[in-house]
């Protein structure tokens, strides 16, 4: 710490005004940089402290330019009506390490937090990549599509098989109908046989009458006539029997045919319903496939958004650089105050500060004393990569 008498010699009014100007100039230079960072509310306390400091200096009776020029140079140290005897160099000497500590701590905390965040985000993108959602990787999508396509291929023939079964049953029902028709034709033939038997019976009766008339000579013929009559009666009985059996068979076949027709109708309905179900399932499979495609597309969008987010987070590195320059400048100011109790010249200080700027935004904001319209118009965007 400096001797208090030493300090008292320094802040004469003229110098006090210069001090204020110097502080304002440095602040003006730093403000744009501070504005860059203020979004993060990192150095707002610094700005407030600096402004408070300036206000404190400005509030003193002899700090105006007029009093600075008119007042005696032999005026003693900064006696302040604000209740503090601390001159600016002493205050800066005390406060600068604190500011630097705060800035450094904040930079470290932000960097660590960003590293953790980036680690998490990169882990998420890695999981997306493992799931086949990386741009240009069709693996996941094509695997799902292939599985769904296989489902469709396996379900599609089921409808064909059911239709084939239905067609077979319809053919069988048609054959049953043909058999019924054939049985009806047989009944007609049997009727013919019955009629022939009846005529034969009449002929046998007539033959028996004629044999009786012939007397003794017709006795043998009478025997033949009786046999013929018996055969015709047997034929008529057989025809009746066949007619009965055909009737029974026709009834059975009619029932079977009706049953087959009914079954075919029921089958047709069942097959139609099954077909609809299979079509519904295929529709759902198709929808599932589309949903899957959409999901893959959406996942890729999310993954790419995260990647862009990660890239965008590099702003923190630039902010860190700007804060680093501020930190270094505060250290430089601290060293200067240690070497010399007098505050350095503002113009040369600013020149030195600006010489450390290495980024476009620093040069732009740092040179804010020059109006935008007067800056060189053609400050080309620097190349993203330069090979040596």
Partner 1 sequence: MAKTILIVDDSSSLRTLVKMSLTRAGYDVIEASDGKVALDQIDKAAKVNLVVCDVNMPNMDGITFVGELKKNPRHKFTPVIMLTTEDDSGRMAQAKAAGARAWLLKPFNPPALLDTVSKVITA
- Give yes or no for a contact between 68 and 48, defined as CB atoms under 8 angstroms apart: no
Distance CA(180)–CA(202), nearest Å, equals 33
115 binds partner 1 (CB under 8 A): yes
Subset of 290-349 contacting partner 1 (CB under 8 A):
307, 310-318, 320-321, 324
Positions in 60-99 near partner 1 (CB under 8 A): none
User: What is the C-alpha separation between 329 and 321, in angstroms, rounded?
Assistant: 12
Q: Whose Cβ is closer to partner 1: residue 212's or residue 315's?
A: 315
Q: Is 105 in the site for partner 1 (CB under 8 A)?
A: no
Q: CB nearer to partner 1: give 186 or 310.
A: 310
What is the nearest approach in angstroms of partner 1 to the Cβ of residue 359? Answer: 5
Of 56-64, 91-99, 113-121, 280-288, which segment contacts partner 1 by CB under 8 A?
113-121
- The answer to whether residue 32 forms part of the interface with partner 1 (CB under 8 A) is no
- How many other CB atoms are found less than 10 A from the CB of residue 267? 17
**Which residue number, 75 or 304, has a Cβ lying nearer to partner 1?**
304
* Of residues 234, 236, 190, 232, the one with CA closest to residue 207: 232
Q: Using an 8 Å Cβ cutoff, are 121 and 309 in contact?
A: yes
- Does residue number 125 form part of the binding site for partner 1 (CB under 8 A)? yes
Pick 206 or 352: Cβ nearer partner 1: 352
Q: Which residue has the tokens 């980036």?
A: 118
Residue 124 found at the interface with partner 1 (CB under 8 A): no
Choose between 339 and 383: whose C-beta lies nearer to partner 1.
383
| Residue 359 is a binding residue for partner 1 (CB under 8 A) | yes
Asked if 9 and 67 touch (Cβ cutoff 8 Å), the reply is no
Taking alpha carbons only, the member of 222, 234, 225 closest to residue 202 is: 225
- Which of residues 112, 138, 280, 340 is near partner 1 by CB under 8 A? 112
Query: Within a 10 A sphere around the Cβ of 115, how many other Cβ atoms?
Result: 11
Nearest-angstrom CA–CA distance, 268 and 165: 10
The CA distance from 123 to 117, in Å, is: 10
* Residue choice 3, 83, 377, 387 for contact with partner 1 (CB under 8 A): 387
Which residue number, 94 or 135, has a Cβ lying nearer to partner 1?
135
Separation of alpha carbons 226 and 204, rounded Å = 7
DSSP symbol at 359: S
Is 368 within 8 Å of 32 (Cβ atoms)?
Answer: yes
- Least distance from partner 1 to the Cβ atom of residue 337, Å: 23
CB 95 within 8 A of CB 287: no
Work out how close the CB of 321 gets to partner 1 at its nearest, in angstroms, rounded to a whole number: 5
Dihedral sign of CA atoms 83, 85, 89, 90 in order: negative
Distance CA 270, CA 276 (A): 10
Segment contacting partner 1 by CB under 8 A, of 68-76, 278-286, 346-354, 356-364: 356-364
Does residue 1 belong to the site contacting partner 1 (CB under 8 A)?
no
Residues forming contacts to partner 1 in the complex (CB under 8 A) are: 111-112, 114-115, 117-119, 122, 125-126, 129, 307, 310-318, 320-321, 324, 358-360, 382-388
């Amino acid at each position: 710490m400096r001797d208090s008498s030493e300090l008292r010699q320094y802040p004469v009014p003229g110098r006090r005004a210069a001090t204020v100007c110097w502080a304002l100039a440095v602040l003006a230079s730093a403000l744009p940089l501070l504005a860059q960072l203020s979004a993060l509310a990192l150095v707002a306390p610094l700005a407030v402290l600096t402004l408070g400091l300036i206000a404190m200096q400005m509030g003193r009776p002899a700090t105006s330019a007029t009093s600075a020029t008119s007042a005696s140079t032999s005026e003693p140290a900064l006696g302040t009506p604000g209740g503090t005897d601390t001159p600016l160099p002493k205050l800066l000497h005390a406060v600068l390490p604190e500011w630097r500590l705060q800035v450094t701590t904040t930079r470290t905390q932000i960097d660590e937090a960003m590293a953790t965040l980036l680690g998490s985000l990169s882990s998420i993108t890695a999981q997306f990549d493992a799931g086949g959602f990386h741009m240009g990787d069709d693996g996941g999508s094509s695997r799902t599509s292939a599985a769904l396509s296989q489902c469709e291929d396996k379900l599609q023939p089921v409808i064909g098989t059911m239709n084939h079964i239905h067609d077979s049953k319809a053919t069988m029902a048609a054959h049953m109908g043909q058999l019924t028709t054939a049985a009806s034709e047989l009944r007609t033939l049997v009727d013919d046989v019955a009629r022939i038997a009846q005529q034969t019976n009449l002929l046998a009766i007539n033959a028996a009458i004629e044999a009786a008339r012939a007397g003794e000579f017709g006795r043998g013929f009478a025997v033949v006539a009786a046999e013929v009559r018996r055969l015709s009666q047997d034929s008529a009985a057989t025809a009746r029997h066949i007619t009965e059996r055909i009737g029974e068979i026709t009834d059975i076949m009619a029932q079977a045919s009706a049953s087959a027709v009914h079954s075919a109708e029921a089958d047709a309905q069942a097959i139609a319903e099954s077909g609809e179900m299979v079509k519904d399932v295929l529709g759902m499979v198709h929808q599932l496939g589309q949903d899957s495609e959409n999901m893959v597309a959406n996942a890729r969008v999310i993954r790419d958004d995260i990647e862009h987010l990660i890239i965008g987070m590099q702003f923190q590195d630039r902010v860190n650089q700007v804060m680093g320059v501020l930190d270094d400048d505060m250290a430089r100011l601290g060293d200067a105050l240690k070497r010399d109790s007098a505050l350095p010249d503002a113009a040369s200080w600013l020149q030195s500060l600006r010489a450390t700027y290495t980024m476009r935004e620093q040069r732009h904001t740092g040179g804010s004393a020059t109006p935008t319209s007067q800056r060189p118009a053609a400050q080309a965007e620097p190349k993203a990569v330069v090979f040596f």
